[in-house]
Homo-oligomer: A and B are copies of this chain.
Amino acid sequence: MAKRIGEQTILIESNPKIIGFASVVGKKESEGPLSKYFDETFEDTTLGQETWERSEGFLQKKAVKLALKKAGMNANKINAIFAGDLLDQCISSIFGIKEARIPFLGQFGACSTMAQTMIMSSIMIDSGAAESCIAVTSSHFCAAERQYRFPLEYGGQRTPTAQWTVTGSGAVVISKNNNNSNNSSIEHVLIGKIEDLGVKDSSNMGAAMAPAAARTIERFFLDTKTLPKDYDLILTGDLGEIGSELLKKLLKNSNFNIYDNHNDCGLMIYEREKQDVHAGGSGCGCSASTLCSIILQKMFNKEINNIIFIATGALMSPTSFQQGETIPGIAHLVHIKSAG
């Protein structure tokens, strides 16, 4: 059974285990500092598909297949799959997952989707409604950029605050049944609220998402009566350089100092200057592929033992952007412990 703690935190009493995880990424990501941690990398970012949307779906399909293999499970033992992506009507998830024949629940949290799908999986397992679930998400540079910003052929200039959409997918199999004593477990989750401070610049999403991240993290510390130093790592999704600086300042204003143990998937996945990604990586696939590679591997090896993972989402659509609407942000949190 789950239990509410404080205002927004949920204790997942049964501590479901991450029994399999996998990440697959494209060429640019394979040239970055996390290269050796990914399960599979693709030189050709079309992945042999006819459209970028299909390429992205294929990334999810691959990530799910590999995560299941590493968990030693068949798809028919999975009770539900929570999947989402950045595209209109979650279309890459639908086409990527449809052949898996697993009960499907489409999730939309923009770049916060990896945390959202892990939260839903954990709660569902804790309720007894499922033994095992999959959480998966993805993004693809070419599919996202042309949908949200400019046609790829246009070769638009990127502002210094812009982030580079990761081509990648990450998937985890979460289960009440533990197949390896080294598996990490889900301890707490926190579902974020929508925060809208009026940012309208789709090339500065770090700024749009940082306030939501700050609120979620602060709420978690207050609810659980813990402090930043209680965690080995405070890992945000894809705030990039601008958003990360904002987050640290915002939390410092609330007397929570995360300068020593914060990192951001958007800063980890590329060598920013050398790979010319400006403020860092972004996209659902950024936090998904970073979490499901270096982070969960280091937790499995007990090199890191206690983390909070806060995936952040910029809740915009091509339509809302064209209409001059603001970009509300959201941040969901998952507290993960290694078996160590």
What residues make up the interface of A, taking CB atoms closer than 8 Å to B?
A: 1-4, 8, 10, 50-51, 53, 79-80, 84, 86-91, 94-95, 97-98, 101-110, 116, 119-120, 123-124, 126-131, 147, 191-194, 196, 315-320, 323, 325, 328, 330
Contact = CB atoms under 8 A, between A and B. Distances in A.
Contacts of A88: 88-89, 317-319
13 contacts: A1-B1, A2-B129, A3-B129, A4-B131, A88-B319, A89-B317, A94-B315, A94-B328, A95-B325, A98-B194, A101-B193, A105-B119, A106-B116
Contacts of A124: 123, 127
A1 B87 contact: no
From DSSP, what is the main secondary structure of chain A's interface residues?
A: mixed
A316 B106 CA distance: 12
B105 A109 contact: yes
Contact of A193 (B4, B103, B318): B103
B128 A129 contact: no
Count the copies: 2
Contacts of A194: 94, 97-98, 104
A108 B123 contact: no
A-B complex: 6 closest residue pairs judged by Cβ atoms: A127-B127, A89-B317, A2-B129, A103-B191, A106-B108, A88-B88
A192 B104 CA distance: 6
Given A107-B107, A124-B127, A126-B129, 5 more contacts: A4-B79, A87-B319, A94-B315, A103-B191, A104-B330
A241 to B, nearest CB: 25
Contacts of A84: 108
Contacts of A86: 89
Contact of A317 (B87, B131, B191, B192): B87
A173 B155 CA distance: 48
Contacts of A80: 191
